[in-house]
Amino acid sequence: MSVQSQVAPTSIGMSRLHDGRRLLRAVLPALSLALIILAIWALNPRAISYFGLTLMLSLAVPVALATVGQMMVMAVNDLDLSIGSFVGLVGCVTATWLRDEPLIGVLILVGLVLAYMLVGAMIHLRNLPSIVVTLGMFFVWQGLAILVLPKPGGHAPDWLHGLMAVKTPLVPFPIVAALVIGIVAYVGLMRTSYGVILRGAGGNPVAVSRAGWSLLRGKMIMFGLAGFCGVLAGMALIGLTTSADANLANGYTLLSIAGVILGGGEFVGGRVSPIGAVIGALTLTLAGSLLNFMHISPDWQVAGQGAILIVVLAARTLINRAGVSA
Amino acid sequence: MSQSPVVIQVEGVAKSFGAVRALDGVDLAIATHECVGLIGHNGAGKSTLMHVLAGTLTPDKAAIQVNGDAQPGYGIELAHKLGIRCVFQELSLCPNLTVAENARILHPALRGFGWRRRAGALIKAKLDEVFPGHGLSADAVVSDLAIGQRQMIEIARAFTVTSEPLRLVILDEPTSSLDGHTAAQLFAFIRRSVEAGLSCILISHLLGEILGTSDRVVVMRDGRVVTSGPTASFDRNKLVAAMGGAEAHSGAVTAATPSTGLVRVRIRPKRQPDGRELVAREGEVIGLAGLAGHGQTDLLLAVFDAAGQLKSGQAEVTEPVALVAGDRQSDGVFPLWSIAENIGVGSLKNLRRGLLISEAAEDELAAQWQKRINIRTPDMRHSILSLSGGNQQKALFARALGSDARIVLMDDPMRGVDIGTKLDVYDLVRGEARAGRTFLWYTTEMDELSYCDRVYVFRNGVIAADLMRSEVSEDSVIGASFAEVG
Amino acid sequence: MTGSRIKLLAQPLFSQPWLWSFVGAVSVWIAAITYTGGYGAGGMVSATIALAAFSAIVGIAQMFVVTLGPGNVDLSLPANIGLASAVAMKVMGGDDSMIAAGLAAAIASGVGIGLANYLLIRLLRIPPIIATLSASFVIQSIGISYGRGLQVKPPPGFAAATSDQVGGISLLAIAAVAFSVLIGLLLHRTAFGRSVAAIGQNARAARLAGLPVERVRLMTYALSGALGGLCGALLAGYFRGSSLDIGNEYLLTSIAVVVIGGTSVAGGKANVTGVWGASLFLVMLLTMLNTFGVSAGVRLLVTGLVIIAVIVAAGGPRNTR
Query: For residue C187, what are the contacts with CB-CB under 8 A and spacing of at least 6?
Result: C64, C193, C196, C197, C270, C272
Provide the terminal-to-terminal Cα distance of chain A, rounded to the nearest Å: 20
Which of C208, C263, C264, C318 best tests the B interface by mutation, with the highest count of B CBs <10 A?
C208
> How many whole angstroms separate alpha carbon B120 and alpha carbon B117?
5
CB contact under 8 A, B106 and A3: no
Question: Which chain B residues are Cβ-neighbours of C6 within 8 angstroms?
Answer: none
> Looking at CA atoms only, how far is residue A324 from chain B in angstroms?
12
Question: From the list C7, C189, C268, which residue is nearest B336 (CB)?
Answer: C268
SS3 content of chain A, % helix, strand, coil (to 5): 75, 0, 20
Contacts of C195 in chain B (CB under 8 A): 348
pLDDT at B65: 87
**Cβ <8 Å between A207 and B54:** no
Strands B407-411 and B438-442: parallel
- Confirm whether A221 is domain-assigned: yes
How far, in whole angstroms, is CA C122 from its chain's centroid? Answer: 24
Element (H, E) at B212: helix B207-213
Q: Does a structural domain hold residue A9?
A: no
Chains in contact with chain B (at least 3 beta-carbon pairs closer than 8 A): A, C
Give me the pLDDT at residue B365, please.
95
The tens-digit pLDDT sequence of chain A (326 residues) is 333 333 333 444 455 555 666 677 778 888 889 988 999 999 989 888 998 999 899 899 999 999 999 999 999 999 998 999 999 999 999 999 999 999 999 999 999 999 999 999 999 998 888 887 898 899 999 999 999 999 999 999 999 999 998 888 889 999 999 999 999 999 999 999 999 999 999 999 999 998 889 999 999 999 999 999 999 999 999 999 989 999 889 889 888 988 998 888 887 889 899 999 999 999 988 988 888 888 888 778 778 878 877 877 777 777 666 655 44
Q: Predicted confidence band at B338 (pLDDT cuts at 50, 70, 90)?
A: very high
Report residue A237 CA to chain centroid gap.
Answer: 14
pLDDT at residue C321, rounded to an integer: 31
Nearest Cα of chain B lies from the Cα of A2 at a distance, in angstroms, of: 5
Taking CA–CA distances from C71, the nearest residue in chain A reads A267
Distance in angstroms (rounded) separating the CA atoms of residues A318 and A202? 27
Does B336 sit within 8 Å of C197, measured CB to CB?
yes
Residue A66 within any structural domain of the chain: yes
Contact between B335 and C201 using a beta-carbon 8 Å cutoff: yes
Q: Do B363 and C1 touch (CB under 8 A)?
A: yes
Burial of C93 (0-12, 13-18, 19+ CB in 10 A): middle
Looking at the predicted structure, is the pLDDT value of residue B310 above 90?
no
Could you tell me if residue A56 is inside a domain? yes
Task: Give the percent of chain B with pLDDT over 70.
Answer: 92
Contacts of C198 in chain B (CB under 8 A): 334, 337, 345
Helix, strand or coil for residue B199?
strand
The reported pLDDT for the residue numbered C4 is 41
In the prediction, which pLDDT does A200 show? 95
CATH of the domain at A192: 1.10.3470
Average pLDDT, chain B: 86
Q: Which of C168, C222, C140 is nearest to C47 (CA)?
A: C168
Q: Is the pLDDT of residue C319 over 50?
A: no
Non-local (6+) Cβ contacts of B136 within 8 A are: A11, B99, B127, B145, B149, B152, B153
Contact assignment for B379 to C4 by CB distance below 8 Å: yes
CA distance A215 to chain B (A): 13
Query: Is pLDDT at B294 greater than 70 in this prediction?
Result: yes
| Domain extent for A113 | 29-312
- The answer to whether C282 and C271 have CB atoms below 8 angstroms apart is no
pLDDT of residue C293: 87
Mean pLDDT of B245-272: 65
A273 belongs to a structural domain: yes
Residue C95, phi then psi, degrees to nearest 5: -110, 120
Counting as contact any 3 or more CB pairs under 8 A, the partners of A are B, C
With CA atoms as reference, the chain A residue closest to B182 would be A6
Q: For residue B89, give the nearest of B162, B154, B146 by alpha carbon.
A: B154
Tell me the per-residue pLDDT of C141-189, one tens digit each, with 9 for 90 and over: 899 888 776 767 899 999 998 888 888 888 899 999 999 999 999 999 9
Element (H, E) at B69: strand B69-70
Residue of C75, C297, C311 with shortest CB distance to A147 = C297
| Contact status of A268 with chain C (Cβ, < 8 Å) | yes
Nearest partner of B221 among B444, B464, B38, judged by Cα = B38
The DSSP letter of residue B47 is H
Taking contacts as CB-CB distances below 8 angstroms, the residues of chain C near B389 are none
Residue A266's closest chain B neighbor by CA? B96
Residue A61 lies in a domain: yes
Confidence check: pLDDT of B484 > 50: no
Does residue A206 sit in helix, strand or coil?
A: helix
Chains contacting C (3+ CB pairs below 8 angstroms): A, B
What pLDDT score was predicted for residue A4?
Answer: 36
Enumerate domains of chain C plus CATH numbers: 16-314 (1.10.3470)
pLDDT at C290 exceeding the cut of 80 = yes
CA distance A256 to A249: 11
Residues C260/C282, Cβ–Cβ less than 8 Å: yes
* Chain B positions in Cβ-Cβ contact with residue C208 (cut-off 8 Å): 304, 323, 325, 331-332
Interchain CB contact of A204 with B (< 8 Å): yes
In a domain, A11, yes or no: no
Extract the runs of DSSP E, i.e. beta strands, from B355-459: 356-357, 407-411, 438-442, 454-459
Mutate to test the interface with C, among A132, A272, A294 (most CBs of C within 10 A): A132
CA distance A298 to chain C (A): 9
pLDDT of residue C316: 56
Rounded to 5°, angle at Cα C215 from C212 and C221 = 135
> Looking at residues B303-327, what average pLDDT do you find?
82
- Residue-level pLDDT at A10: 41
Rounded Cα–Cα distance for residues A85 and A141 (Å): 6
| Average pLDDT rounded to a whole number, residues C25-52 | 87
Instruction: Give pLDDT, residue C56.
Output: 96
pLDDT at B3: 43
Q: What does the alpha-carbon distance between residue C266 and residue C255 come to, in Å, rounded to a whole number?
A: 13
Model pTM above 0.80 = no
Cβ(A219)–Cβ(A123) under 8 Å? yes
Pairwise CB contact (< 8 Å): B96 & A191? no
CB–CB contact C70 A267 (8 Å): yes
Reported as a single tens digit per residue, the pLDDT across B359-404 is 999 999 999 999 988 888 889 999 998 887 788 999 999 999 999 9
State the Cα–Cα distance between residues B205 and B376, nearest whole angstrom. Answer: 20
Q: How many domains does one find in chain A?
A: 1
Least CB-CB distance to B345: which of C4, C5, C209? C209
Summarised one tens digit per residue, pLDDT across range B79-131 is 988 899 999 877 789 999 999 999 999 998 998 889 999 999 999 999 999 99
3-state secondary structure of B64: strand
What is d(CA B9, CA B236) in angstroms, rounded to the nearest whole number?
27
pLDDT at C109: 97
Residues of A in contact with C142 (CB under 8 A): 303
A315 in C contact zone (CB under 8 Å): no
Mean pLDDT value across residues C22-45? 86
Residue C299 has pLDDT above 90, yes or no: no
State residue B2's pLDDT score.
Answer: 39
Which residue in chain B has the smallest CA separation from C200? B334
ipTM of the complex: 0.86
Residue B449, judged by CB atoms within 10 A of its CB (0-12, 13-18, 19+), counts as buried
Q: Which residue has the higher pLDDT, C254 or B310?
A: C254
Residue C133: predicted pLDDT? 83
Task: Read off the amino acid at residue A151.
Answer: K
Separation CA B449–CA B467 (nearest Å): 11
The closest CB to that of B97, out of A9, A199, A210, belongs to A199
Q: How far is C253 from chain B (nearest CA, A)?
A: 26
pLDDT for position B370: 92
Examine residue A242 and state whether it is found in any structural domain, yes or no.
yes
Query: A200, B105: Cβ pair inside 8 Å?
Result: yes
End-to-end Cα distance, chain C: 27
**B173 dihedral zone (left: phi>0; alpha: psi -120 to 50; beta):** left
Percent of chain C predicted with pLDDT > 70: 91
Contact residues on chain C for A140, CB-CB shorter than 8 A? 300-301, 304-305, 308
pLDDT per residue over B191-246, tens digit each? 999 999 899 999 987 788 889 999 999 998 888 899 899 999 988 778 877 876 44
DSSP string, C104-124: HHHHHHHHHHHHHHHHHHHHS
